[in-house]
Amino acid sequence: MMHEDGSQTSLTTGDEKCLTRRQMLKSFGAGAVAATIGASVPRAFASVGSLSTAHDDHASPIPEGWANQSVTPRAAAFNLTDVRLLEGPFRQAQERDGRYLLQLEPDRLLHNFRVNAGLTPKAPVYGGWESVQPWVDIRCHGHTLGHYLSACSLMFAATGDQRLRDAYLHTNNRMALDVLVKLSDWAIATTQKLSDAQFQRMLDTEHGGMNEVLADVYALTRESRFLALAEHFCHRALLDPLAQKRDTLDGLHSNTQIPKVIGFNRLYELTGQEDYRAASRFFWRTIVDNRTFATGGNADREHFFPPADFLQHLGSAKTMETCCTYNMLKLTRMLFALDPSATYADYYERALYNSILASQDPDSGMMTYFQPTRPGYLKLYCTPTDSFWCCTGSGMENHAKYGDSIYFHAANALYVNLFIPSTLAWREKGLTITQTTRFPEQDRTRLQLTTQKPVNLTVNVRHPSWCQAVTITVNGRRWAKSRQPGKYVAVNRVWHTGDIVEVHLPMTLRTEPLPGNANVVAILYGPIVLAGRLGRKGITPGADIIVNERTYGDVLNDEVDVPVLIGDSHEIVRKIKPSPESALMFDTTGIGHPRDVSLMPYYRVVHERYNLYWKLIKPGDVDRKLSRS
């Protein structure tokens, strides 16, 4: 099984030879469509899915036919068109991403498609995965277009910016659905001669979210042949153990498995079949509880490793591929809709700040591939036109869709999951909510309501797991004080224009151990992972913008001293003090060895070396170390 990093793993046993991605594509007949296999197949379909949101401001949130699923979600996201970000780091990231999307030339992205269709390309091909080996050989070139179309559609929905309009016109029409159906019929025709064993062998290879995509086609068309193929695309070697609550993920390629599980969950929604539900829920729990770093990212060199081995992977510069977090967030919000638990929203918040917001260079707008846990290393970013990694493509989407999970709704309830400055227009209720906050720089948020007529509604405010007690006031009078982290505080009343809900979420410092290693800890403030600032040694301007993601860890390897911290977790936390420099900046005082260190949110770290996990040592160990030297 060949992966994007050139490594191989197999889910099959015995000496059965796996089909490589290349062989699989050949067996599919390759051609123009082949270029979309991989992460971007779902993107082509996702564009169609997102169309209903982009179609017009009053469109139903659910495409026609989409609602006829077996399992009714208990909560639903709002259309991106209903949520607008207000000034803050997320909106700034969205604007940077928008500028990047506008710089890209569709004719250059279409180059490979025109060539494959026997047409004369209208512009030269882009670099990186769009045109160089081994990406051409494995038919990955062209993968960016799907992400680009999705990102443009999302950006249009999220901002209303008409310059995004071309992509919207290209995708939001009946033709897109016709193409989708024909593409799916082609997939049926080209796989029908495969035996079950051959089909399952093919699924060893990274194939994006084919089961999810085909399930979506079934949801849109209600044609049972697409459901049958979607189920055929379920990899039994993954589904069966997960459904039996067995973790067999060691050694598997992370970003191959997460999309398969998203597909399992989609099939549960459509069929109600319990094994799909059990598998997706168990997978999520396993990843989040046992296989995730403090930032919400997972894996090393793109592969899951035994949870007992975290320490030996900490030194890697190839931990936490950004796409994996992108896909975990996608799975998380699907699971939340089925079961609106604050546990899902807690993970979403953590990964959104510490992985996704952290993945963009605020100066260039470019994106990370890995987010290295290697002490003293740095974030490296793609180039605008010569990289086009998978994480460039998913990165285009990440920053366009921040508005999609701040609020959810149920029949007569609103969920406020994230504390991000934004406005929400809930048209069915005639209700507008403006959330004003400087969170996490400030530990409070404010919701102001405008209603066309009085509305009886429960507003569920998330009480995050990192906060001991949340206080809520309504129009200046205390409504509730919650001491139940990881739950919702329900505020039920008849709402009128001008009503104001204020939420106070005190944030504190704490440590979190590296899984399985009590003496190696990350430092967090509320949901925010703090990184130690270790200087800019060897980093010249632009040196952290790289073409080839495989060079992570091979470049900019200047030796950097990484302090250890003296004391236990309680003592450490007591001796970290807020810095007068700015909000969310801290300094260790008298506990760093051989020196103290400044801490800042990982999401703000840029063009500088950092450390995420700290080794804790006892005071006596330092004395012994000093007397030996």
Q: How far is the CB of 369 from Zn ion (least distance, A)?
A: 6
Binding site for Zn ion (CB under 5 A): 321, 323, 390-391
- Written as six digits, the tokens of 440 are 């996490």
Residue with smaller CB distance to Zn ion, 140 or 154 = 140
Residue with smaller CB distance to Zn ion, 381 or 614 = 381
Gap between the Cα atoms of 234 and 19, Å rounded: 16
- Written as six digits, the tokens of 282 are 């168990």
Angle between helix 210-221 and 224-232 (nearest 10): 170
Residue with smaller CB distance to Zn ion, 85 or 390 = 390
- Written as six digits, the tokens of 16 are 């059965």
Q: How far is the CB of 350 from Zn ion (least distance, A)?
A: 19
Residue with smaller CB distance to Zn ion, 368 or 417 = 368
Measured between alpha carbons, how far is residue 265 from residues 123, 282, 337 in Å? Answer: 40, 11, 11
Residue with smaller CB distance to Zn ion, 321 or 499 = 321
Gap between the Cα atoms of 464 and 472, Å rounded: 13
Gap between the Cα atoms of 138 and 545, Å rounded: 25
Residue with smaller CB distance to Zn ion, 231 or 321 = 321
CA 530 to chain CA centroid, Å, is: 19
Q: How far is the CB of 390 from Zn ion (least distance, A)?
A: 3
Q: How far is the CB of 128 from Zn ion (least distance, A)?
A: 13
**DSSP secondary structure letter of residue 306:** -
**DSSP secondary structure letter of residue 439:** T
Q: How far is the CB of 326 from Zn ion (least distance, A)?
A: 8
The closest residue (CB) to Zn ion is 323
Residue with smaller CB distance to Zn ion, 323 or 584 = 323
Residue with smaller CB distance to Zn ion, 391 or 396 = 391
Find tokens 């993954």 and name the residue. Answer: 238
Alpha helices in 233-359 (DSSP H): 236-243, 254-271, 274-290, 310-313, 322-338, 342-351
CA 330 to chain CA centroid, Å, is: 6
* C-beta separation of 269 from 320 below 8 A: no
Find tokens 């190839």 and name the residue. Answer: 318
Q: How far is the CB of 324 from Zn ion (least distance, A)?
A: 7
Q: How far is the CB of 392 from Zn ion (least distance, A)?
A: 8
Residue with smaller CB distance to Zn ion, 147 or 463 = 147
Residue with smaller CB distance to Zn ion, 98 or 297 = 297
- Written as six digits, the tokens of 55 are 């179609």
Q: How far is the CB of 38 from Zn ion (least distance, A)?
A: 10
Give the number of C-alpha atoms closer than 13 A to the C-alpha of residue 427, restricted to the C-beta side: 12
Gap between the Cα atoms of 326 and 264, Å rounded: 17
Q: How far is the CB of 512 from Zn ion (least distance, A)?
A: 25
Q: Is 583 exposed, middle or buried (0-12, 13-18, 19+ CB in 10 A)?
A: exposed
The DSSP result for 246-273, as a single string, is ----TT-BHHHHHHHHHHHHHHHHHH--
**DSSP secondary structure letter of residue 374:** S
Q: Is 87 exposed, middle or buried (0-12, 13-18, 19+ CB in 10 A)?
A: exposed
Helix (H) or strand (E) holding 444: strand 444-451
Residue with smaller CB distance to Zn ion, 38 or 532 = 38
Which sign does the torsion angle of CA 95, 96, 99, 105 carry? negative
Q: How far is the CB of 132 from Zn ion (least distance, A)?
A: 17
Q: How far is the CB of 389 from Zn ion (least distance, A)?
A: 6
Residue with smaller CB distance to Zn ion, 391 or 546 = 391
- Written as six digits, the tokens of 53 are 């949101």
Q: How far is the CB of 302 from Zn ion (least distance, A)?
A: 8
Please list, in sequence order, all residues whose beta carbon lies within 8 angstroms of the beta carbon of residue 220, skipping any fewer than 6 positions away. 48, 63, 64, 65, 66, 177, 180
Residue with smaller CB distance to Zn ion, 258 or 391 = 391
Q: How far is the CB of 408 from Zn ion (least distance, A)?
A: 27
